[in-house]
């Protein structure tokens, strides 16, 4: 019987030029369960090779025996999950009451992975929405799901903040939208320059009235500051 990783080598998915997609974009078709298992198995074989190069015993050492498979599974099903799956299902509601005031949600816990060193990015996301009277409103939990979806890829913060904002704009067509990320990059705190754990990177993406209306932008930033203190 063919081994899973051999099956993976033959899949159309591997033959297609998904490699040209950026690492923080999703591949063309999401993986079904069988393809996911094949990808994990094929990745695991490569991680065993990497361990061999690094002279880590993945056969006899009880601590590292299952690590290549465990690591491959984590990459496919957790760290990079947003690359291989459909975006979250978004329940959209008509804005029946024509609500047109600022809604701010956060902090939404951000757990992502840096594209340069594969180290964790950990932080908070705040989202401000100025709905259109004739636009859509989405369920509150969906903002968290959207953040999780785009975070589960190899990211840089400037692109992540825009991906989240572009997606929400596309779904809800609001008068204005703002996304703010404040995060610690462990590639900076746990290696290299070994910066303070308190060292954060802040990025904002503003759209429509939340970009052009200084009073509304300032209201959003004040709400973020207040929510951050909770
Ligand atoms: N702008 C930006 N830079 C990031 C982000 N995440 C990590 N970086 C930085 O990307 C750079 C990686 O490039 P290199 O300079 O080639 O990496 P390096 O030689 O290991 O550099 P050091 O981290 O300084 O040791 C580092 O300066 C990181 O701090 C991010 O989200 N946005």
What pLDDT does 28 receive?
85
Q: How many CB atoms lie within 10 A of CB 4?
A: 16
Tokens of 68: 């290549």
For every residue of 78-131, DSSP letters joined together read IITHHHHSPPPP--EEE-TT---S-EEEEEEEEEEEETTT--EEEEEEEEEEE-
Give Rg (Cα) of the chain: 21
Tokens 């291989």 identify what position?
84
- Same domain flag for 160 and 181: yes
Give the model confidence (pLDDT) of 38-79 as tens digits: 999 999 999 999 999 999 999 999 999 999 999 999 999 999
| Last residue of one domain, picked from the residues 50, 67, 84 | 84
With a 6 Å cutoff on the Cβ, whether 185 touches ligand 1 is yes
H/E stretch holding 201: strand 201-208
Please, which residues bridge with residue 114 across strands?
155
| Last residue of one domain, picked from the residues 84, 114, 136 | 84
Q: How many CB atoms lie within 10 A of CB 123?
A: 22
Report CA(116)–ligand 1 centroid distance (Å).
6
Check which CATH number belongs to the domain holding 36 and give it: 1.10.286.10
With a 6 Å cutoff on the Cβ, whether 157 touches ligand 1 is yes
Mutate to test the pocket of ligand 1, among 24, 112, 116 (most ligand atoms within 8 A of CB): 116
Tokens of 201: 């990177």
- Taking only the tens of pLDDT, the chain with its 230 residues reads 567 767 667 666 666 656 668 999 999 889 999 999 999 999 999 999 999 999 999 999 999 999 999 999 999 999 999 999 999 999 888 888 889 999 999 999 999 999 999 999 999 999 999 999 888 889 999 999 999 999 999 999 999 999 999 999 999 999 999 999 999 999 999 999 999 999 999 999 999 999 999 999 999 999 999 999 87
Instruction: Compute the distance between CA of residue 77 and CA of residue 36 in angstroms, rounded to an integer.
Output: 8
- Same domain flag for 107 and 216: yes
Write the CA distances from 68 to 16, 35, 43, 51, 150, integer angstroms. 26, 18, 8, 8, 25
- Same domain flag for 35 and 100: no
Q: Kindly report the pTM of this predicted structure.
A: 0.92
| Last residue of one domain, picked from the residues 31, 57, 84 | 84
What pLDDT does 21 receive?
80
Instruction: Compute the distance between CA of residue 161 and CA of residue 169 in angstroms, rounded to an integer.
Output: 12
Instruction: Compute the distance between CA of residue 194 and CA of residue 185 in angstroms, rounded to an integer.
Output: 10
Query: Which domain covers residue 193, as residue numbers?
Result: 92-229
- Same domain flag for 78 and 178: no
Give the model confidence (pLDDT) of 71-88 as tens digits: 999 999 999 999 999 999
Question: What number does the ligand 1 atom closest to the CA of 114 have?
Answer: 6
With a 6 Å cutoff on the Cβ, whether 182 touches ligand 1 is no
Check which CATH number belongs to the domain holding 207 and give it: 3.30.1130.10
| 3-state secondary structure (DSSP) of residue 193 | coil
With a 6 Å cutoff on the Cβ, whether 115 touches ligand 1 is no
Q: Give how many domains the chain has, as a whole number.
A: 2
The stretches of the chain forming alpha helices (DSSP H) are 4-10, 12-15, 33-54, 67-74, 81-84, 140-151, 157-172, 186-189, 209-212, 214-229
């Amino acid at each position: 019987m063919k081994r899973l990783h051999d099956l993976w080598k033959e899949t159309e998915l591997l033959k297609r030029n998904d490699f040209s997609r950026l690492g923080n974009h999703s591949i063309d078709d999401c993986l079904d369960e069988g393809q996911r298992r094949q990808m994990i198995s094929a990745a695991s074989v490569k991680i065993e090779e990497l361990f061999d190069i690094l002279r880590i015993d993945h056969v006899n050492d009880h601590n590292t025996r299952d690590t290549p498979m465990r690591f491959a599974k984590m990459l496919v099903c957790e760290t990079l999950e947003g690359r291989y799956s459909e975006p979250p299902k978004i329940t959209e509601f008509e804005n029946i009451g024509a609500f047109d005031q600022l809604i701010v949600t956060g902090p939404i816990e951000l757990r992502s992975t840096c594209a340069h060193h594969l180290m964790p990015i950990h932080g908070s996301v705040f989202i401000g929405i100025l709905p259109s009277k004739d636009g859509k409103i989405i369920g509150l939990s969906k903002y968290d799901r959207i953040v999780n979806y785009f975070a589960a890829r190899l990211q840089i913060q400037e692109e992540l903040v825009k991906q989240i904002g572009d997606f929400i704009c596309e779904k809800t067509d609001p008068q204005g939208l703002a996304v703010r990320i404040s995060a610690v990059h462990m590639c900076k705190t746990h290696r290299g320059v070994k910066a303070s754990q308190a060292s954060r990177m802040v990025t904002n993406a503003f759209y429509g009235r939340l970009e052009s209306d200084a009073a509304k932008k300032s209201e959003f930033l004040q709400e973020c500051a207040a929510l951050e203190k909770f």
